[in-house]
Each structure stands twice: as C-alpha cells, then as structure tokens.
Amino acid sequence: MKILMSWIGRTDLLAAEKNDPAEIGPIAQALRSDSYDRAVFLDNYRDHLVQSYQAWLASLFPLSFEIRSTPLSGPTNHKEIYEAARDAVRELIALYPEAGLTFHISPGTPAMALVWMLLAPVFGARVIESSREQGVQVVESPFEIAAYFLPDRDLQRLTQADAPAHPAFKDILYKSESMRQVVSQAIHVAPRDVTVLIEGESGTGKELFARAIHSGSQRSSARFIPVNCGAIPSELLESQLFGHHKGAFTNALKDAPGFFQAADGGTLFLDELGELPPNAQVKLLRALESRAVTPVGGTEEIPVDVRIIAATNKNLFNEVLSGRFRSDLFYRLAVAILRLPPLRERYEDLDLLLDQALAKANEELSKQGGSIKKVFSERSKKLLLQHPWFGNVRELNNTIIRAALWSPSDLIDEKTISGVLLSSPVEKSNIMDRPLTEGFSLKNLQDEVARHYLKKAMLESNGVKTKAAQLLGFEQYQTLGNWLKKYGLE
C-alpha cells in the first residue's frame, strides 16, 4: 500500500476555487504523477474552503483520502506542527504497518516542510516536492539532521542512551528526567568526600549508584566493601563491622578485622541500613563521629579512614519519627541524599533497560554453548512495557533471563512473556484497599493512578495522542498533553 501525506497549502485551496486544469496545485500534481492507495492531508484552516477542496479533489481522483483538522496556534509553530504530523504518521503505521509512506513538502509553510524532512528518515518515508516548472521530484533526506535534532524522546529512544558526564556512571542507562537529575547529583557528589545516603525501593539500583560514586571519587583506587546489614545476625553484627579480638566470644579463635578496617582508605557501602538494631546504631554513630572503631573484646580504638555510603529501601525520616531509627545517626548520615525513582516512574527508560537486559541474557546463555540471539516480538515488548515492575530493575533483569531461557525460538513471543511475568503484589495492585497507616498520602496515590493510566493509554494507542485522549475520556488531545507534561511523561 502506498500512502501520500501532506499539509494542505493555500495554493491547493485556490486551485479548487479556480478549477483551472492548468493550475491544480501541489497536492493534485503529486496525485496525478503517481499511483497512491490512500492519502492523508493535515489542515489548519478549519473553514468552508476545506470542504470545497475535499469535494473538488474527490471529483478528480478516485482514491481513499481523508483531511484531518489540525488546529495550530500558528503555521510556524514547530512544536505543534511536529506533534501533529508525528501522531498522524504513527496512527497510519499502526493501521498499515507494511505501507510505504510519501511525504509531500511543497504545500504549507517552511516549518511544515522541515518537520516532514525530520520525520522521513525515522519512519522510512520517501520525500517529494513539486512545482509547475519542474514537476514532481524526489528529495534526498539528510539523515544527519533527523538523527541529531529530532525533538521527540520516544523516537530518540531508538538511538543510544545519553552518555553520563563521568565514565564511572557509564553503566547507568536512562532517558527520563527523574534519573537525569539523580545521576547529575551523584556525579556532583562523587569527588567530594562526604557521606551519602541513597534511598529507593528494593531493586532500583542503589548498589550500582554506590559503586559508581566510589569509582568517581578520589578513593577509586582503594577498596569498595559492600555490607548487607539486614543479612548479618544481630549477635554477629558488631564483630563483623568492627572486628574482634581472640577469645572475645565462643569460636573467636584469633584476632579478625571488621569491614571498617577492610575498607580503610576506601568506601564502605552499608546496604539496608534501616535494618540495623538499636545497639548497632549507637556503635555505628560512635565510629562515624570518632573515625575509629573498637573491636569486640578490645579497649583501644583503631583509627579508620572510611567514606560511608549508606542505602535503605525505607524512608529513614519516617523511621526516625516512629522511633525505630536514631535521629542523631540519621542526621549524621544525611549529608548528601539521593532518592532513586522506582521503575514505574521511569517509563522513558524501559526500552533501554529491556534491550540491555536481553543483551546480557544472550551473552550469559551464549557462554553455556552456542550463539544465542533472542529478540522480542512487537507484542511481547508491548506487554513488557505495560508491566508495573514493582520489583524494579532487579525484577526486570530476572524476568528477561527467564524469557530468554524458556523461549523455544529466537523470537520471544507474547505467550512466553505472559508465562514469565510475576503477578503484582496485592497491596500494590488493589488501589481501594491501601491501609491508612503512617506515610499514606492521598496525593501520591492519585499521582500513581494518573501515571499508570496515562502510560497505559499511550501504549495501547501506539503513541497516538488523539486516540490516547479518547481512551482516557479527554475531549481534546491538548488536555492529554498537559497531563503528560504534569506527570513528566512527555
């Protein structure tokens, strides 16, 4: 199927008024020069001239065509022109995925022509122009312009992710504004020898950030020691952190250094800090204040030079208010605070993370024999993009490994993905049954619902705003644009 797309220009409308066979206008000239199965024209005039033009065009060419009313604040508003043309192209591709597109750049304003030139290489469209003297000619599309200046994040995701300003952060992939801000803060704090507290849900990449901060610091040549505070039995926690002397307790057969001494000169990463019992919190505060530790069974302090990066999946401020975490320790740690957003609030990053996870899965499986090159089908990718990912990046990575492992062919289909996705937790999915406990926020709940259905509508409409607005019950697609902007989903 061949489809012609164009804006309607003033010359085209005048041609219908004159009805002169010698001056039929750019659009009719293009339709006469080639055979098209369908034509879609965008119009921003919105008056009786368009109705007359439609009847005139139909009398000349027996093909299926439509004219879409596209209100613009001005015929040179690049952003509005771009969004209208992009949405129209996406909708056509969704309906006719195998169609060959042709963009006609002569009708309309120079801004409209520029937008067609930018969109053409992305959607694989042919570009034409026409004139009375030269007739209809194919225009070569300068791909370099589209690749570097395309002003749409959804399409920019087709290229590689933004490269962080510091090589230490090269493993952190992102396109979302929320992650851009956190990475910028982390890069800024990395070379400064201050304590860092990283908050975020389980699986959001807290250790990845901690390692990147260490690599970007002046301690990068020294050791990075990760410690999961929640995995150490409470009776062993003190000796594990600060070391012990021979005979300090049963089975203490020799002197042993703790994690603080092992990290001397480097970085100690205290993960799941919120799980520390009260007595360990007291001794940790003492070690941070004095920059020294006293091994279990010892009496003398041992100086240590350690940078602390702590992480927790809890809100430590709320833990302080409830009395479960010491306020003095919290304020000692909370010098630089980084809050990692959950994956469900990083919709723009999903494509990148899914592709990265599949590449790693292919690499790991290939090590076990044979070359593995699994790819997602279009429907399976859409299913993955709709999943809420309450387990965040950790859940995503493990899900993709399962999918690559269980897929019977190189094409990972929708059935395979449906079988490997985990059900969402009841307490997250049942929006009407949340407990009114401390930390409950009606506004946050409303924001969560809004983001969920905005993303769902954009996915189900294949990114076509007019269709997404209809799905959400908005009378105008501009309303949808305002909501997307409000919740950072543009």
> Which tokens go with 403?
């999918």
Question: Tell me, what's the pLDDT at 163?
Answer: 40
**Range 348-426 has CATH code 3.90.1150.10:** no
Question: Tell me, what's the pLDDT at 151?
Answer: 40
Neighbours of 302 (CB within 10 A): 16
Cβ distance 36 to 102 under 8 Å? yes
- Mean per-residue pLDDT of the chain: 83
Q: What is the mean pLDDT of residues 264-284?
A: 91
Q: What is the mean pLDDT of residues 472-478?
A: 81
Q: Assess whether pLDDT exceeds 80 at residue 142.
A: no
Question: Tell me, what's the pLDDT at 161?
Answer: 44
Question: Tell me, what's the pLDDT at 423?
Answer: 66
CA 478 vs CA 74, 412, 468: distances in Å:
15, 36, 11
Q: Assess whether pLDDT exceeds 70 at residue 153.
A: no
Q: Assess whether pLDDT exceeds 70 at residue 130.
A: yes
Question: Tell me, what's the pLDDT at 147?
Answer: 33
Question: Tell me, what's the pLDDT at 141?
Answer: 53
Give the domain ranges of the chain: 2-150, 167-341, 348-426, 441-486
Q: SS3 for 121-136, per residue?
A: HHHCCEEEEEECCCEE
pLDDT in tens, 281-314: 888 999 998 899 888 888 888 999 999 999 999 8
Amino acid at 245: H
Share of the chain above pLDDT 90, in %: 28
Which pairs from 210-213 meet CB under 8 Å and 24+ separation? 210/267, 210/269, 210/271, 210/309, 210/311, 211/269, 212/168, 212/169, 212/171, 212/172, 212/186, 213/168, 213/186, 213/189, 213/267, 213/309
Round the CA-based radius of gyration of the chain to a whole number and report it. Answer: 30
What pairs with residue 227 in β-bridges?
Answer: 270
Among 3.40.50.10770, 3.10.450.50, 3.40.50.10880, 3.30.870.10, what is the CATH number of 2-150? 3.40.50.10770
More confident residue, 152 or 319: 319
Please tell me what DSSP assigns to residue 261.
Answer: H
190-204, 242-256, 305-319, 434-448: range with lowest mean pLDDT? 434-448
Cβ distance 155 to 148 under 8 Å? no
pLDDT in tens, 417-473: 988 988 655 444 456 656 565 556 787 778 878 888 888 888 777 778 888 888 888
Three-class DSSP category at 409: coil
Give me the helix-helix angle, 378-386 and 442-460, nearest 10°.
Answer: 170
Q: Assess whether pLDDT exceeds 70 at residue 108.
A: yes
> Are both 2-150 and 348-426 of the same fold?
no
| Nearest alpha-carbon partner for 293 in 228, 241, 254, 334 | 241
Q: What is the mean pLDDT of residues 246-268?
A: 86
> Which tokens go with 8?
């309607």
Q: Assess whether pLDDT exceeds 60 at residue 278.
A: yes
- For 205, counting Cβ atoms within 10 Å of its Cβ (0-12 exposed, 13-18 middle, 19+ buried), the class is buried
The percent of the chain in helix, strand and coil, each rounded to the nearest 5, is 50, 15, 35
Share of the chain above pLDDT 70, in %: 90
Distance, CA of 307 to CA of 438 (rounded, Å): 33
Residue 481 binned pLDDT confidence (cut-offs 50, 70, 90): confident
Q: What is the mean pLDDT of residues 78-88?
A: 87
The CATH fold of domain 167-341: Rossmann fold (3.40.50)
